Amino acid sequence: MNFDLLIRNASIVDGSGAPRFNGDIGIRGDRIDRIGDLAASSGEVEIDLAGRIAAPGFIDAHTHDDRLMLSGPDMAPKVSQGVTTVIAGNCGISLAPMPRAIPQPVTPPLNLLDDQGGWFRFPTFAAYVEELRGKPAATNCALLVGHTTLRVAILDDLERPASAAQIVRMRALVSEALEAGAIGVSTGLFYEPAIAAPTEEVIETCRPLKDVDGLYCTHMRDEADGVIDSLTETFRIGREVGVAVVISHLKVVGEANRGRSAEALSFIEKNMATQSICMDCYPYTAGSTVLSADRAASSSRVIVSWSKALPEYAGQDLDAIARKMGVSEEEAIRRLLPAGGIYFRLDESDVQRILRHGKTMIGSDGLPHDASPHPRLWGAFPRVLGHYCRELGLFSLETSVHKMTGLTARNFGLRDRGVVKEGAYADLTLFDADKVDEAATYAAPIAPARGIDAVIVNGAVVWRDGRPTGARPGRVLARLT
Ligand code: ZN
Ligand code: CU
């Protein structure tokens, strides 16, 4: 038999969590055609893995890649670590729709996607999807529409709840987005432009999700002292709208809340008995978002990831910048704004407890447009495989892979993805389990992972020998449950 692509001598970790097995993988077109002993067959292109791992392509459960897919379609930060599908539009922030000229200056945190505003140029969600389809990226994507984007599009005063009439308009934009292919709505109730939104505003805006079984994904209002109240609010929204919820980057923030991941997880488990809930996590004790004095005050260390006012300070520690300027940290922040920060304010044992939980997916939460980004942008997945799986033994390789593939595909409704089986899409990551690791660090955050041999999306090789191949076979995926 002849295949388009034949992967020989693979140790197959199939994404289900089942033990690995040896075999060859024959690919025809965009699908896995055969798995087994294919010694008698040949391939147009052949890759001999000599016992190294073939796994489903990783699905990044939490990204802000809405614009990167258009402005950096090789998707190097993602495919270099084995990611073949990204969930974009998280934390209330989506690039579309923007039915009016985006107010200037771009409201944080929307400026994480583009601080100039020119990319917020899609009046409808359909226009954005059409551009993604016309100029595909190297990875697949599934898209969320952001509640904060809708607020910025419709409200003139973000410090107030939306009026009944404004909710009707936001709801119409949600319907349009879902029709155009979005799989859910995200909120960022934690962030300034959405804090004034009461729970009822979110519920009423999200109503159209019910008919299409869309997802409600949330960067919760409070991940610190009020984490249980925020979980309660999230579950209420899921129940009242009648849809599954995704808790984005589950964490417990701040010194005073150390250890409370146990309480949060048991509260989540209790509620899982009566409604559909899942969560993702990034494998680091530092988070990253727009720079603010509040967030800096609750962190043990802050690195400035970008500054529009003073770009030369990107990559430096805030306390060192303040010393150089001869001012307080608050004053330094004022001078740097608009800017981004990397905040060290999570406890390692909480991060590990959340990562270890059987229902936790891996998401990078990488910020692709930061000058000196958090290393999770390039390193989240290999860090789980290298540091947490191989070095610390937090879980098996099969479980690690499941958390980034099969589990994620099931939760997001990405049919025939996230598994290596005959008939599934040929999204594959080929890697060396002994070598795979992050190369990105806080000091040098832009670096491709080690140990990734090749990455395949819809049957096309997109990354090989440490560089992008130029192939851009990515598709906009629907949610099919
Ligand atoms: Zn977030
Ligand atoms: Cu995020």
Nearest partner of 361 among 283, 441, 436, judged by Cα: 283
What is 56-285+346-414's CATH topology?
TIM Barrel (3.20.20)
DSSP state of 150: H
Model confidence pLDDT, tens digit, residues 337-392: 999 999 999 999 999 999 999 999 999 999 999 999 999 999 999 999 999 999 99
Domain covering 2-55+432-436+448-468, topology: Urease, subunit C; domain 1 (2.30.40)
* Ligand with the closest atom to the CA of 253: 1
Cβ atoms of 187 and 222 within 8 Å: the answer is: no
Structure tokens of 304?
A: 């400035």
Is the pTM for the entire model greater than 0.95? yes
Q: What is the pLDDT of residue 44?
A: 97
Strand 244-247's sheet: what is its strand order?
58-60, 83-88, 140-146, 184-188, 215-219, 244-247, 277-281, 360-362
Q: HSE (CB half, 13 Å, CA atoms) of 360?
A: 24
What torsion, rounded to 10 degrees, do the Cα atoms 35, 41, 42, 48 define? 50
Type of residue numbered 355: L
Structure tokens at 443: 């000091």
Rg, the chain, Cα only:
22
**Run of H or E residues at 194:** helix 192-195
Amino acid sitting at position 292? S
- 248 CA to centre of ligand 1 in angstroms: 6
Across 226-243, b (16+ Cβ under 10 Å) vs e yields: ebeebbebbbebbebbeb
- Residue 365 CA, ligand 2 centroid: distance in Å: 5
Question: Ligand 2 center to residue 33 CA distance, Å?
Answer: 36
Structure tokens at 419: 């598994």
| Ligand 2 mean position, distance from CA 361 (Å) | 14
Pick the CATH number of 288-344 from 1.20.1080.10, 3.20.20.370, 3.30.1490.130, 3.30.360.10: 3.30.1490.130
- Segments making up each domain of the chain, as ranges: 2-55+432-436+448-468, 56-285+346-414, 288-344
Output the six-digit token pair for 454.
């090749």
Length reported for the chain: 481
Strand order in the sheet with 339-344: 286-290, 339-344, 301-307
pLDDT tens for residues 8-47? Answer: 999 999 999 999 999 999 999 999 999 999 999 999 999 9
Average pLDDT, the chain: 98
Q: What is the pLDDT of residues 50-95, one digit of tens each?
A: 999 999 999 999 999 999 999 999 999 999 999 999 999 999 999 9
Lookup: tokens for 477: 């995926």
Share of the chain above pLDDT 90, in %: 100
Distance 220 CA to ligand 1 centre (A): 8
- Which residues, listed in sequence order, are joined to residue 450 by a DSSP beta bridge? 437
Cα 13 from Cα 19, distance rounded (Å): 7
In this structure, are residues 32 and 73 in contact, taking their beta carbons and an 8 Å threshold?
no
C-alpha 22 – ligand 2 centre gap (Å): 37
Closest ligand by atom to 367 CA: 2
